Structure 1
Amino acid sequence: MHDADQTGKNRQFRLSILSGAIAFATALSATATAAEIEEVVVTAQKRSENLQDVPIAISAFTGDNMKAMGVENLTDLGKFTPGVEMNNDTPLQPTYSIRGIQTSDFTVGSDPAVAVYVDGVYTGRGAGAEIPLADIERVEVLKGPQGTLFGRNATGGAIHIISKKPQADDTAELSLTAGNYGRQSSDLLLNRQIAGNLYGRFTASSNRRDSFADNLGGDFEAGNQDTQTYRASLLWEPTLDTEVLWRADYGVMDQGSALRTSIVPTLQEMEGGTDVFGDYSLDTPTIEDRDSWGTSVTVTSDFEDFTFTSITAYRGFDAHLQQDEDGTANPDYMFGSANFDDQTQFSQEFRLNGVTDTLKWTVGASYSREELEHDTDAYFTAGSLESFAVYEGVKAQMAGADLTTTQLEDLAVQQRQAMIAGGQEGAAVSTFVYDLMVQSGQADQLLTMFGAPESINASMLDREQMAAQLMAGIAPWVMADTEWNETVTNTGDYRSAAVYGDVTWSLTDKMDLTVGARYTADEKDFTIESAYQNTLPVALAGGEVDVYGEDGSVLMQLPLPSVPSCESAEAQPCIPAQRFGMAFNNNGIADLHQDLDDSWSDLSGRVVLDYRWNDDVMTFFSVADGFKAGGFNSFSAAEGIDPSFDQEDVVNMELGLKSSLFDNRVKLNTSIFSYEYDNLQQLDLVGAPIPNYYLRNADAEGQGAEVELQWAATDNLFIAGNYSYLDTEYTRYQIIEAIGETEEEHSRVGQPRVSTPENKFNILAEYTVPMNSGADFVLRADYNWTDERIGSISDPTRVIEDYQLLNLRAGWNSASDRYSAALWVKNASDEEIAGGYGGTGAAIGASPAWRFMPRMYGADFTVRF
């Protein structure tokens, strides 16, 4: 059993393998001639510039670098990027965190806080953003608010994926990969010069892998992979000054979703000894299906004094994500979920760039429209409701005790088993339902119906005796593990328009001042449809119930008849079945339909002063802010709560250094930053008697530092590393009084943000061994260490322990560069690393966890024609 409190206790912080490899490589190459570091060109400021000349904190990765690192997607990339976390167990619900700024909402009522762009086109939903990184020119990770040039929803930063354009040559390339757990991947690339001014490029990629553990509870897989991606592009140059670039892509995903395993000890034992890092037991089939597509046309024309750019794009996807939320195959803890998405988006951007002797300027305008339909299903059984009620009772009984959440959940499971053994199954739900009836006044109506004196109300009756009465209808229903399914439907129509401008003025030959601003206007129409779709049978067993006075003495014994539920009764009187929602609480509204609309606008900007001390060293100071529109609660409605929530605003101050030293053999970039985060949109599971997901606004702050170093030690040895320090905390946490939430119960003030490790560093060493034939061998090691972090906003006591990752690669390239081959291993030391604890299964006392990949190894082979 690996709990959040136990994972990593035996972990040792060690670098002996990697440091030994570096020392050996350094000794071999001590007499070699030093080389320069290759220049990286980025478009972070909407124009092509040397990375070292851009006064923004950027981590940039070329396609070749990512392949050498074993990076297949953005989640992999996040592990090696300072200040960035992209720990996702499913590509259809990704979360990207830059410097602790992220959005916890997995619904469609809000937007992400980190903007993901593909070839200059914003991807509006996370489910369409996580794409395979095959045939990619580079990925740029821009840190800090990017509201001026990248626009809305870039409060934390922006991630820009740039694919390779068609080239003026005829080439073909085929790459094959095979590895353990049935890994089979292929990438096919074709590039052709179709005419003198027309070029085409086509890529086809597939990736398949089996699950890395066995399902003891069903015949389906979880955690396997199966994707296919196709890209096509045409580049037309009608004149020397104009190019038209058309791109299109289509992707298919058909695989099992996240592999989640219960962390509750007693449940693990009941499931045959399952373990977070071993075999698992699931009863909800896991599904990740997605068809995604997109097309864009980019027109670029150079005029005498400026360059005109137009980007017209249309994208969309259909997705189905189904997950086992409890991590068990126990029907008494059945909790599955499914999300169905149908999304399309259109965007248009016009931009002008100009350069004079003293000015660099950019002006532009953009418009986008996103239309979506989203269904969320939740799958329970009557046994799940009983487990939920038992867990709520145990939490109430143990309030104030010094117990972890896992210990509370384990006590609840043991209590549940004791009740089954004692013939008390259904007692917890009966008590829970009676409390609901008392709160709503239905219990008083019931007493009146059966002739109770007017002087007696339900609050005077013995609670346990009344619960025992109700068990007549509820116990058989619970024991049968009757299905209990719920659905909520959302639709959205989001429009956004913006105008922006950015000017860099050379104050002197060494100092530049940049000023930029963007005005954004967002409008959103949104609907919520939900209903209490299930009924719970209520009957009275018949007998006498104690009635208490104000002093606690028994006033009398009230006789109650034996009364069936109306669903089973042929004649009156009978008791109507109770309707309520366990997953989507409409707060007494049996059939909920809301048509909502709202709008938000903002003026965001940046001011940057940079000074170039010489040709190799530049420092900059910037103040920038970002804006994210408000949105709507997607699941629940409650009286006294505005269904919409406010927009987010972030103001970031940063001091940075960029340098190329020792004849460009060393690159050293550093930055320190501090930000204030206002009206952070925070999703939390709160409320009583049935907790639900509500999105509220909070405030937070963060400060930190980042260092990136590259060193071309010799012609053969390249060493690089990075380090990030991050300190975040909530400074305000809005309490939702309308659902009975109190400051003592749910304040997070002073608590760090979720999934924000305080320290993180990476180091790599790459050594090239040239052969007399002209071929070469390349040996590479990548090492990452990430500090502990809070894994759940609803439970800050669950800490994800620190972890380390070591990836190794040995490659060979032929003298002609026609052939390449490599052997590789990821997570070489087979570390057992938890990616997250808790999740929605925590609502019924069955928290799961998911893990990083175990040791993966394989071989690559590439041939070029």
Structure 2
Amino acid sequence: MLDKKALNTARPYRRHTSLWLSALAAILPCPLYGQASPPDTLSVDQTETSLSNYPFHIPAGSLANALIELARIAKVNIAVPSELVGEQQSPAVSGRMTIDEALAQLLANSDLQFDWQGSQLRISKRPAPPRQLQMTRREPDQQTLPDDFRPMEEVIVTAQRYRQNLQQVPIALSVIDDMQIDRAELRDLQEISYRTPGLSVSSYSLGQPSIHLRGIGSNDDGAAMDSSVVLFVDDVYIGRISSIDLDILDVDQIEVLRGPQGTLYGKNSIGGAINVRTHQASADHQARFTLGLGNYNARYANLSLNGALDEDEQWLGRAVIDHRYREGWQENLVRPGEKQMGKIKSRLRAQLLHRIDEQWQMDWNLDASRDNLNSTGRIPVAGRVPLARRDETGSALPTDFFSELGGDYKHATNDLPGYTDRTIWGGSQRIHWQSDDWQFSSISAYRHSQFDWLEDSSGLPASSTAQTVDLNVRESYREYSQEFRLQWQAHERLQLISGIYFLRELTRRQETFFFTGASAVSQQFNTTQNLALFGELEWQLGERSHIGLGARYNRDKKTLRQTAINGGAPAIILENFQSHQSNSWQDFSPRLTWRHQLQDDLMVYGSVTEGIKSGGFQGVPGNLQSAREIIQPESALQFEMGLKAQWQNRWRLNLASFVTRYRDLQVVQFRTIDNFGVFETSNAASAKLSGIELEMVYSPSPQWTFSGSYAYLKARYDSFRAADGRDYKGSTLRQSPEHSAHVSADYQTVIEDGPLAGKLQWHVGMQYQDESYREPDNQITVQPAVTLLDSKLSWQMVNQNWKLSLWGKNLTDRAYIAHLYILGGNDYALFGTPRTFGLSVEVPL
């Protein structure tokens, strides 16, 4: 027979404390002890009480004190024998929720359960199962097994800056937690995008990711331009795309908010926001080491430490160190013996948390990463404009040159040994204070990144054609941010969040384009200052309806100094010039939401939301006139309706539909000139976006869970006349696949006897993204559809608590394009990773 505790994470270290529950109960308006006299059926008053939402702010600590506080806030009687509560501790509970939801969180780590007896709550010990860990005999509504064995759990999110049940948030929101990340071996944001409706992630290079959400995204990577989808990590804004680390480390939960989020997330969230929460330090003493091996000589190691640093558990610490290495999977035919697409990455994340008292808490966070990659071979995939042969015997398409050299997506022909070297580090301090009715937070952060990248953009050797171009980008970025946030939930029908935010960014970027016998250089130094005031109020109308109203005032100022040197280059930089521009913009972004609880497990909602993307100045302008042009902000007005439902703790179904009016698009075009060209950015278009998104989870038994998502997106220009006079009205926006879908199955069981005794988990997932376009002219530069299949099998030993995992990515070894771009009228691709597989072992220390 297995020991159930052996399959669970070790319980936190508990400090012995005295329990004076009887004395405290004597001064409360509701008794905590005594025999209940339950009626045969629930009363109407009790039903209404259990369904009402209350503003709970209960700090982590003694479970006895937490129950007393809950009883005070909800004005409900709780009957519990003191010997059951003992010295047990409970997690913090914060946010507006029902009594049942609050109690479920408080008792999650205990061996207690609750039930209603008339108008009184009764706390009792959970009954032991007939056989320990006999999952097949467990009913869905019992609570006798570890959390990861429950058919479906409540999902708590912080998307609106306070804790809420996912099913009560009136926005389209996708959530991927640490359990899903582990089971599916998810490693980066691109893999997350395959599981998220409407999200598309593509990278021209490690430091130039292109993130699009619901058809909205940005492609100008100039020092004075911004992304259209923002990333927050532990409340800290990650502004510059070159400083976005797409890889996942020690993540507790990822929340993808689809559609404009200007009120709470500020500028540049016009497409949406990605809110990442890492694991927080706790009193649970843990030390775990993971070692992994894979094909392409992949090796990785991870060490995580967590626990209390003093006997009183006032000082808590957590640290994670991760190192990964993989040889390249792409061979270079021009440079024999050289493998490309290799990667070395080292990362650190640490937190020190101080619980000052029941009201005050502070934490200090540090993260750092170092990326070192070799060449990422570019492959010619579509030829339309011939290139002159080096031996002056004529010309040929780049695809013909590539074929003559024997190239394919696993065999590149670039003669330049490219590289990527990036360092990111940052720190933050968060101060939290809360009373019965108020919460205050201060978030101070500093971030710094250095990015150096050299690449052969055409993927062809100089021995074949002189019409090649190589690119070197060097960028330094610094960011300072400060946010003060105040929340009020004194009234049971009102809650308010308000704040002030300040941001200062310094970006220095140099791009050098190497042609045969010439080089063009663009240098930009930009300073951004942003100040914002925001607030949002939610008011409960009746028992089941809520209306929310929010707004944000935003002031943005950018100052850009730049120098351009032609250097005899045939394109990109057409003349030498220097310029100095400065401009400021102001914006007011409102939001209106409504939600109505049709039933306890069925909610409908609607919203009208506006968002903006900052204005700026073009990256790599070809001449002084382009450099002086001011790029105005983009704006989006979205109308959304949705439904969120959950049945019998087995089904969860979330559906959203939206229509967005997208104005003043900052369109980047590459105008071809003699096999090369110049970049041109302007507010050249408007568009209409509409779509339907579906997410589903089904748990027919404790062993099986099925999940899936689907998105239909129609993103069309309704006005767009290009610089060359062509009309692209009706064309599809770039990186906007019409259809995308994901399905997965998870199985878990317990093997009770024999040498394989332990917990077994199996995951299989399939992702699909439709074809998408990279240019307004939808007849060229079309990225094909892709279908990928992944799987993972894990086995956790019962006694030593070791975990052994076997995983595989792209199991069908499909050749697919991860990024596509046009250069000189021809298409070049960066291919995705072929089939990879590996084995890892995780051991407690």
TM range (shorter): 0.7 to 0.9
2:634 to 631, 639, 648: 648
* Structure-2 residue corresponding to 1:836: 819
1:216 to 323, 327, 333: 333
* Structure-2 residue corresponding to 1:282: 414
User: Aligned partner of 1:92: which letter?
Assistant: G
Structure 1 residues 589-668: aligned runs within 5 Å:
591-636=576-621, 638=623, 642-662=628-648, 664-668=649-653
Match of 2:340, SS state, is coil
1:801 to 761, 765, 784: 784
Deviation at 1:802, TM superposition (A): 1.7
Asked if structure 2 preserves the Cα contact closer than 8 Å seen for 1:262 and 1:275, the reply is no
Could you tell which deviates more after superposition, 719-728 or 162-171? 162-171
Asked if structure 2 preserves the Cα contact closer than 8 Å seen for 1:333 and 1:846, the reply is no
User: Aligned partner of 2:347: which letter?
Assistant: T
Asked if structure 2 preserves the Cα contact closer than 8 Å seen for 1:528 and 1:634, the reply is no
Whole-Å Cα distance in 2 between the matches of residues 308 and 31 of structure 1?
46
* Structure-2 residue corresponding to 1:754: 734
**1:345 is aligned to 2:479:** yes
Could you tell which deviates more after superposition, 352-361 or 271-280? 271-280
Whole-Å Cα distance in 2 between the matches of residues 111 and 247 of structure 1?
25
Identity %: 25
**1:728 is aligned to 2:720:** no
**1:328 is aligned to 2:460:** yes
Could you tell which deviates more after superposition, 315-324 or 774-783? 774-783
Whole-Å Cα distance in 2 between the matches of residues 524 and 778 of structure 1?
52
Asked if structure 1 preserves the Cα contact closer than 8 Å seen for 2:220 and 2:618, the reply is no
Match of 2:219, SS state, is coil
Change (3 A) 1:639 1:249: closer
Whole-Å Cα distance in 1 between the matches of residues 637 and 732 of structure 2?
18
Whole-Å Cα distance in 2 between the matches of residues 779 and 66 of structure 1?
13
Deviation at 1:370, TM superposition (A): 0.1
Could you tell which deviates more after superposition, 75-84 or 307-316? 75-84
Structure 1 residues 422-437: aligned runs within 5 Å:
none
Asked if structure 2 preserves the Cα contact closer than 8 Å seen for 1:276 and 1:851, the reply is no
User: Aligned partner of 1:622: which letter?
Assistant: S
User: Aligned partner of 1:202: which letter?
Assistant: A
Whole-Å Cα distance in 1 between the matches of residues 688 and 137 of structure 2?
49
Deviation at 1:140, TM superposition (A): 0.8
Q: Cα RMSD (Å) of the superposition?
A: 2.0
Deviation at 1:853, TM superposition (A): 1.3
2:661 to 647, 655, 676: 676
Whole-Å Cα distance in 1 between the matches of residues 339 and 564 of structure 2?
31
Asked if structure 1 preserves the Cα contact closer than 8 Å seen for 2:577 and 2:624, the reply is no
Which structure carries more relative contact order (alpha carbon 8 Å, separation 6+)? 1
Whole-Å Cα distance in 2 between the matches of residues 290 and 277 of structure 1?
25
Structure 1 residues 248-287: aligned runs within 5 Å:
248-263=366-381, 267-268=398-399, 270-271=401-402, 272-287=404-419
User: Aligned partner of 2:323: which letter?
Assistant: S
Whole-Å Cα distance in 2 between the matches of residues 847 and 143 of structure 1?
31
Structure 1 residues 287-326: aligned runs within 5 Å:
287-326=419-458
Match of 1:239, SS state, is coil
Whole-Å Cα distance in 1 between the matches of residues 511 and 502 of structure 2?
29
Asked if structure 2 preserves the Cα contact closer than 8 Å seen for 1:327 and 1:846, the reply is no
Structure 2 regions of 5+ residues with no counterpart?
Answer: 1-134, 141-149, 384-396
Whole-Å Cα distance in 1 between the matches of residues 405 and 633 of structure 2?
47
Q: What are the superposed Cα offsets for residues 172-229 of structure 1, whole Å, 9 maximum, x if unpaired?
A: 0111221111111111101131122001111111111111120112265432111100
* Structure-2 residue corresponding to 1:562: none
Structure with greater helix share of residues: 1
Q: What are the superposed Cα offsets for residues 794-819 of structure 1, whole Å, 9 maximum, x if unpaired?
A: 66423222221110111101225721
Structure 1 residues 393-412: aligned runs within 5 Å:
none
* Structure-2 residue corresponding to 1:380: 515
User: Aligned partner of 1:246: which letter?
Assistant: W
Change (3 A) 1:59 1:363: same
Change (3 A) 1:190 1:715: same
Structure 1 residues 41-440: aligned runs within 5 Å:
41-88=156-203, 90-195=205-310, 196=312, 197-218=314-335, 220-263=338-381, 267-268=398-399, 270-271=401-402, 272-331=404-463, 332-355=466-489, 356-381=491-516
Change (3 A) 1:101 1:765: same
* Structure-2 residue corresponding to 1:531: 565
Corresponding pairs, count: 677
Whole-Å Cα distance in 1 between the matches of residues 514 and 776 of structure 2?
23
Structure with greater strand share of residues: 2
Deviation at 1:275, TM superposition (A): 3.9
Match of 2:263, SS state, is coil
1:704 to 691, 702, 706: 691
Match of 1:101, SS state, is coil
Whole-Å Cα distance in 1 between the matches of residues 621 and 249 of structure 2?
40
**1:769 is aligned to 2:769:** no
Q: What are the superposed Cα offsets for residues 772-791 of structure 1, whole Å, 9 maximum, x if unpaired?
A: 14612112110112211113
Deviation at 1:372, TM superposition (A): 1.2
Q: Please identify the structure whose Cα radius of gyration is greater.
A: 1
Match of 1:836, SS state, is strand
Structure 1 regions of 5+ residues with no counterpart?
Answer: 1-28, 382-482, 535-579
Whole-Å Cα distance in 2 between the matches of residues 837 and 628 of structure 1?
24
Change (3 A) 1:57 1:282: same
Whole-Å Cα distance in 2 between the matches of residues 749 and 326 of structure 1?
31
User: Aligned partner of 1:173: which letter?
Assistant: R
Match of 2:356, SS state, is strand
**1:502 is aligned to 2:536:** yes
Asked if structure 1 preserves the Cα contact closer than 8 Å seen for 2:622 and 2:679, the reply is no
Whole-Å Cα distance in 2 between the matches of residues 136 and 166 of structure 1?
12
Whole-Å Cα distance in 2 between the matches of residues 141 and 192 of structure 1?
30
Whole-Å Cα distance in 2 between the matches of residues 522 and 70 of structure 1?
40
Match of 1:608, SS state, is strand
**1:585 is aligned to 2:574:** yes
Q: What are the superposed Cα offsets for residues 723-778 of structure 1, whole Å, 9 maximum, x if unpaired?
A: 11000111122544xxxx22x3xx32110011111111111011113111461211
Match of 1:676, SS state, is strand
Change (3 A) 1:258 1:94: same
Asked if structure 2 preserves the Cα contact closer than 8 Å seen for 1:213 and 1:280, the reply is yes
TM-score with structure 2 setting the length: 0.78
User: Aligned partner of 1:158: which letter?
Assistant: A
Asked if structure 1 preserves the Cα contact closer than 8 Å seen for 2:781 and 2:827, the reply is no
1:488 to 507, 522, 530: 522
Match of 1:214, SS state, is strand
Whole-Å Cα distance in 2 between the matches of residues 626 and 198 of structure 1?
40
Q: What are the superposed Cα offsets for residues 525-564 of structure 1, whole Å, 9 maximum, x if unpaired?
A: 0012012223xxxxxxxxxxxxxxxxxxxxxxxxxxxxxx
Whole-Å Cα distance in 2 between the matches of residues 275 and 232 of structure 1?
45
Match of 1:105, SS state, is coil
Change (3 A) 1:377 1:637: closer
User: Aligned partner of 2:251: which letter?
Assistant: I
Match of 1:725, SS state, is strand
Asked if structure 1 preserves the Cα contact closer than 8 Å seen for 2:732 and 2:778, the reply is no
Match of 1:75, SS state, is helix
Deviation at 1:87, TM superposition (A): 2.4
Match of 2:167, SS state, is helix
Whole-Å Cα distance in 2 between the matches of residues 780 and 612 of structure 1?
34
Asked if structure 1 preserves the Cα contact closer than 8 Å seen for 2:289 and 2:843, the reply is yes
Could you tell which deviates more after superposition, 276-285 or 668-677? 276-285
